[in-house]
Amino acid sequence: MKQKTLGNEVRISGIGVHTGNNIEAILKPAKAGSGITFVRKDLDPCIRIKADIDNVDDVIRGTALKSEGFEVYTVEHVLAACAGLGIFNVDIEINSNEFPVADGSSKHFVELIREAGIKELDEEQEVFDVTETISVVKDDTVIIIKPHNEFKISFTIDYDHPVIGSQYLSIPINEKTFTEEIMFARTFGFYRDYEKLKSQSKAAGSSLENTIGLDDQQVLNEDGLRAPNEFVRHKILDMIGDLSLMGMPIRGHVVAVKVGHALNVEAARLLRKAYKKFKMSQNTFNINDIKKILPHRYPFLLVDRIVGIEDGKKAIGLKNVTVNEEFFNGHFPSRPVMPGVLIIEALAQVAGVFMLSKTEHQGKLPFFGGIDKFRFRRPVEPGDALYLEIEIIKLMGKIGKVKGTAKVDGKLVASGELMFSLVKA
């Protein structure tokens, strides 16, 4: 499956459901791997806010993103439209802090995107396969994501209301099912909550033109519902938009009971965490692999295994500290403690594996350029499994700076910064 973007730019105008602002938006093609980014054109300079789970700021009655102190509200419906069509690369320019609500569904956005055309890019679209069950529970609400051969959502809602009641829908999510069964479902709200929302600076643009309104007994919209179970369909729509903040399609079965944006976002965070764990597990090195990369040898090879590398960002190594280590003979015979400078050296060796495993750096030697801000919290003793994590701070050609963190049993042992350079062997 190839990555997709828009064939041409398309304009959208309308009101913001919460701010009441009149908004102009332009959806533009974007290059492969760039993701979906909102561009606040009303600011000088413009602020780019990536549709990413790390940028979620607010989940009350909608999903809001924030970057550099600036927000964009109510992004879930346009994100659902993009994800439902398999599009994960778009620049969205807006002249306000909220995306237009249109009719409260994703239908209008899908129609405009199809009008602009969908362009297939050369690069492959990565898909995250759920391999272990993920669960989020809060009170009587729950999300469980299980391994499955396709993206599927099974959603249950339960409202003490004669029109809504209990509704359940289980459906595979693909372009056909999304456009035929989900995209038209509108957001809904209760009249009794309207004044409270307005006092919270919410729902200023809400009306029966963009919301299914309900009093205590009935639907207030003259045209009624688009489907008897439109409510649960819209909840699925919201979930598709929120989960897309993970940054790629997923294959897995999502079982959800009575959840909203907050739990959706938490599930997306756990998916991202599982994805990072999986990616790191694909980049492991045993001691023989390490010896092919590093020039160090016993007794100065201080890393037994690289348990994972996150490309371009960080690496985690393991040193099993045994009583037979040479340095324990003199440090100290009566109370064996691993020297702090060797903990720093072990971290540096993990950084060395990270750098020298790259094709362009093979055949080089890593030299210290500096050590800064190191603090030691507790001793490392025989029998400890010393986990060594380095995270890139700066990397420019042959020179780099990393943050190093050493832990035993999840407790911090030492941390600080290392500077290094690569020289010809």
Dihedral over Cα of 271, 277, 280, 282: its sign: negative
**End position of a domain, from candidates 275, 296, 331:** 275
How many angstroms separate the CA atoms of 34 and 125, rounded?
12
How many angstroms separate the CA atoms of 168 and 205, rounded?
30
| In a domain? residue 280 | no
Do 144 and 230 reside in the same domain of the chain? Answer: yes
Q: Which candidate in 148, 296, 331, 361 is catalytic? A: 331
Do 269 and 140 reside in the same domain of the chain? Answer: yes
312: left (phi over 0), alpha (psi -120 to 50) or beta: left
Q: Are 221 and 263 in contact (CB under 8 A)?
A: no
User: Which DSSP string do the residues of 193-248 spell out, in sequence order?
Assistant: HHHHHHHTT--TT--TTTSEEE-SSSB--TT--SSTTHHHHHHHHHHHHHHGGGSS
Do 14 and 138 reside in the same domain of the chain? Answer: no
Residues with Cβ within 8 Å of 332's Cβ and at least 6 positions away in sequence, in order, are none
Do 132 and 271 reside in the same domain of the chain? Answer: yes
Question: Per the annotation, does 77 bind a ligand?
Answer: yes
**pLDDT tens digits, residue range 371-389?**
999 999 999 999 999 999 9
Do 7 and 81 reside in the same domain of the chain? Answer: yes
pLDDT at 102: 98
pLDDT at 329: 93
Do 261 and 304 reside in the same domain of the chain? Answer: no
| In a domain? residue 162 | yes
How many angstroms separate the CA atoms of 57 and 66, rounded?
6
Q: Which two tokens stand for residue 285?
A: 């090195």
**pLDDT tens digits, residue range 209-262?**
999 999 999 999 999 999 999 999 999 999 999 999 999 999 999 999 999 999
HSE (side-chain half, CA atoms, 13 Å) at 242: 29
| In a domain? residue 64 | yes
**End position of a domain, from candidates 235, 253, 275:** 275
Predicted structure pTM score:
0.81
How many angstroms separate the CA atoms of 205 and 73, rounded?
13
What is the helix, strand, coil percentage profile of the chain, to 5? Answer: 25, 35, 35
What is the domain range of residue 296?
Answer: 287-424
Do 295 and 413 reside in the same domain of the chain? Answer: yes
- Judged by DSSP in three states, 399 sits in strand
Q: Which two tokens stand for residue 147?
A: 């391994």
Across 128-152, b (16+ Cβ under 10 Å) vs e yields bebeeebebeeeeebbbbeeeeebb
Do 150 and 271 reside in the same domain of the chain? Answer: yes
Q: Give the number of domains in the chain.
A: 3
CA-angle at 249, arms to 245 and 253, nearest 5°: 100
5 strand-pairing partners: 119
| In a domain? residue 237 | yes
| In a domain? residue 10 | yes
Give the CA radius of gyration of the chain. Answer: 26
Do 108 and 33 reside in the same domain of the chain? Answer: yes
Give me the tens of pLDDT residue by residue for the chain, a chain 425 residues long.
899 999 999 999 999 999 999 999 999 999 999 999 999 999 999 999 999 999 999 898 899 999 999 999 999 999 999 999 999 999 999 999 999 999 999 999 999 999 999 999 999 999 999 999 999 999 999 999 999 999 999 999 999 999 999 999 999 999 999 999 999 999 999 998 887 887 777 889 999 999 999 999 999 999 999 999 999 999 999 999 999 999 999 999 999 999 999 999 999 999 999 998 888 888 899 999 999 999 999 999 999 999 999 877 899 999 999 999 999 999 999 999 999 999 999 999 999 999 888 878 878 888 999 999 999 999 999 999 999 999 999 988 788 899 999 999 999 999 999 999 988 87
Do 185 and 221 reside in the same domain of the chain? Answer: yes
| In a domain? residue 324 | yes
**Cis before 332? omega within 30:** yes
| In a domain? residue 282 | no
**End position of a domain, from candidates 89, 123, 157:** 123
CATH of the domain at 296: 3.10.129.10
Question: Per the annotation, does 238 bind a ligand?
Answer: yes
Q: How far is CA 186 from the centre of its chain?
A: 26
Q: Which two tokens stand for residue 31?
A: 């290059």
Residue 296 annotated among the catalytic residues of the structure: no
156 strand-pairing partners: 168, 257
Question: Per the annotation, does 234 bind a ligand?
Answer: yes
Do 311 and 256 reside in the same domain of the chain? Answer: no
Do 78 and 140 reside in the same domain of the chain? Answer: no
Residues with Cβ within 8 Å of 153's Cβ and at least 6 positions away in sequence, in order, are 169, 170, 171, 173, 236, 239, 240, 253, 254, 256
